[in-house]
């Protein structure tokens, strides 16, 4: 069976930098820099301009990844789009991205299949496993995997929402997963979910148990209560489960591959909370020099965090060919996943 490897990486974050102090001074969120940094490690995040959609962020990151792989958009045999903040409720962002890449018209029209992945912060690892399986099966030569989020459109920037709103930022990361006969690539991936805790980190903007799924007034305008409109999180339960699932996921990955943590050259943890990542690293004895972080600059970009890390590390020389990389994520659902890659 042929191997599947990451042939190119790309990323994009909006230019608008929003510091913790800006959240208070500009956006009116009742919080302060010291409070946020102490609890999350976040100093700033990026917000997209009004009029920009998630697929627009994904497009730029995708173009960078395709170029880095030495390919053209028409070489892409499949698109996997991981996001919890799609352009619309439906259709999925993958179809919008496909059209923007020029795959529906002219000489480059391939009408490549586009699949959306809704496993929140774990979306990239779920997608990595899916992309590897598609390539290893021989179904496609190159899969474009994108994680993109535009959270700023859906944040409750009031005192009521400050514990959640301060966490998130906008951004996109992408990789191209390609076939190779070389002894390298995605060696292992495993994902899991625990739906018992699905309501502990959720944004229930519409409810299909209701008729209609969003209540309306006499004129037919939708009326959404705050507890449905904005994301809600049981922070303590999320923290506990994130540490456990990420730790056990990494241990299982090493056991499957017959390696130890010392054999891993670089760790790319999902960037949800610096305290979670530090706790996992301390629990497993991972030295700081083997970890890469960007949560301080971008906040939590959910499905985009790991591909953003990979692209930054590849471009600044931290991530080199021949390195063994471990990726791990945890998110709403609860969902989680880990992967081992020989770069």
211 or 113: which leads in pLDDT: 113
pLDDT average, residue stretch 252-261: 97
* Gap between the Cα atoms of 62 and 340, Å rounded: 22
Q: Is the dihedral of CA 54, 112, 125, 306 positive or negative?
A: negative
Percent of the chain with pLDDT over 70: 100
Largest CA distance in the chain: 65
> Does the pLDDT of residue 311 top 90, yes or no?
yes
Give me the half-sphere count of Cα atoms (radius 13 Å) on the Cβ side of residue 235.
Answer: 12
* Average pLDDT taken over every residue of the chain: 95
Superfamily of domain 186-199+231-342: Thiolase/Chalcone synthase (3.40.47.10)
pTM for this entry? 0.96
- How high is the pLDDT of residue 227? 86
* Gap between the Cα atoms of 208 and 62, Å rounded: 33
> Does the pLDDT of residue 308 top 80, yes or no?
yes
- The 10s digit of each residue's pLDDT in 95-150 is 999 999 999 999 889 999 999 999 999 999 999 999 999 999 999 999 999 999 99
Q: Which residue ranges does the chain devote to CATH 3.40.47.10?
A: 3-182, 186-199+231-342
- Which string of b and e fits 301-332 if b means at least 16 CB within 10 Å? bbbbbbbbbbbbbbeeeebeeeeebbbbbbbb
Superfamily of domain 3-182: Thiolase/Chalcone synthase (3.40.47.10)
- The 10s digit of each residue's pLDDT in 146-203 is 999 999 999 998 888 888 999 999 999 999 999 999 999 999 999 999 999 999 999 9
Helix (H, G, I), strand (E, B) or coil at 328: strand
Nearest one of 330, 298, 339, 319 to 8, comparing CA atoms? 319
- List residues with catalytic annotation: 121, 270, 300
pLDDT average, residue stretch 295-305: 98
Strand partners, 64: none
- The 10s digit of each residue's pLDDT in 30-83 is 888 998 999 999 999 999 999 999 999 999 999 999 999 999 999 999 999 999
- How high is the pLDDT of residue 1? 75
């Amino acid at each position: 069976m042929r191997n599947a490897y990451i042939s190119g990486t790309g990323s994009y974050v909006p230019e608008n930098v929003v510091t913790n102090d800006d959240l208070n001074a500009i956006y009116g969120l009742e919080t302060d820099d010291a409070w946020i940094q102490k609890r999350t490690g976040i100093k700033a995040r990026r917000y997209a301009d009004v009029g920009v959609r998630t697929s627009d962020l994904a497009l730029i990151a995708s173009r960078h990844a395709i170029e880095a792989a030495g390919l053209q958009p028409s070489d892409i045999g499949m698109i996997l789009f991981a996001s919890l903040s799609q352009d619309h409720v439906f259709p999925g962002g993958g179809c919008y991205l496909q059209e923007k890449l020029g795959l529906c018209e002219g000489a480059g029209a391939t009408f490549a299949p586009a699949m959306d992945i809704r496993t929140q912060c774990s979306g990239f690892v779920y997608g990595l496993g899916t992309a590897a399986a598609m390539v290893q099966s021989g179904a496609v030569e190159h899969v474009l995997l994108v994680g993109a989020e535009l959270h700023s459109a859906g944040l409750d920037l009031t005192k009521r929402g400050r514990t959640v709103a301060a966490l998130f930022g906008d951004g996109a990361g992408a990789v191209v997963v390609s076939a190779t006969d070389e002894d390298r690539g995605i060696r292992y991936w495993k994902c899991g979910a625990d739906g018992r805790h699905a309501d502990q980190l959720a944004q229930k903007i519409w409810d299909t148990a209701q008729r209609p799924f969003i209540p309306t007034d006499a004129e037919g305008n939708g009326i959404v209560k705050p507890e449905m409109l904005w994301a809600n999180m049981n922070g303590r339960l999320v923290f506990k489960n994130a540490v456990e699932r990420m730790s056990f996921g990494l241990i299982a990955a090493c056991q499957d591959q017959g390696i130890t943590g010392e054999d891993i050259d670089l760790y790319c943890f999902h960037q949800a909370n610096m305290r979670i990542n530090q706790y996992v690293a301390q629990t497993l004895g991972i030295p700081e020099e083997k970890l890469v972080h960007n949560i301080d600059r971008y906040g939590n970009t959910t499905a985009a965090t790991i591909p953003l890390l990979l692209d930054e590390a590849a471009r600044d020389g931290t991530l080199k060919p021949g390195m063994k990389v471990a990726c791990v994520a945890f998110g709403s659902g609860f969902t989680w996943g880990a992967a081992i890659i020989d770069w």
